[in-house]
Amino acid sequence: MPSSPQDDLLTTLRQTMGVIIHLTMRRSWRFAKEHGLSITQIMALRQLAHHQEACSVSSIGEGLGITNAAASQLLDKLVQQGLVLRTENPHDRRSKQIVITEKGKDLLRESMRAQRAWMEVLGQRVTPAEARQITEALALLTEKLADVE
């Protein structure tokens, strides 16, 4: 049976993700522990950073699969640490607008930096031509995934 380029892509993607997940999850998780944050808190920050605009408390809870009460408590701690801002929604005063602060973004950036080691190894192992090839492909991949949930 002939395999389509799309099928090949899926197969390769699964393989690559196996490696990537092993490298990144591990580091993300240790990063969280070292900074005294829970994975959930990191996930909340990521979610806020991901769809740029302000989120409601309940949308965050839903995104994380926890109750609104839990989300509210979780956000308390993030606010306390200055990682997010909680303001009233002028259009609906029942609702709150949650946005990530610069400090919060910094933290996420720093967590990315925890990935740096293996990325640099990769950088050292590829030729300039290979680097260009991979860069191009990744840029394409990122573009295609830009708006995926």
Please list every residue from 29 through 68 that binds a copy of itself, using CB under 8 A: 29-30, 33, 39, 43, 46, 50, 65
Say how many residues touch a copy of itself, by CB under 8 A. 63
**Given candidates 73, 103, 106, 139, which one binds a copy of itself under the rule CB under 8 A?**
139
Alpha-carbon dihedral sign for residues 56, 58, 62, 64: positive
Nearer to DNA, 75 or 100 (CB): 75
Nearer to DNA, 15 or 67 (CB): 67
Contact residues for a copy of itself (CB under 8 A)? 4-10, 12-26, 28-30, 33, 39, 43, 46, 50, 65, 112, 115, 117-126, 128-142, 144-146, 148-149
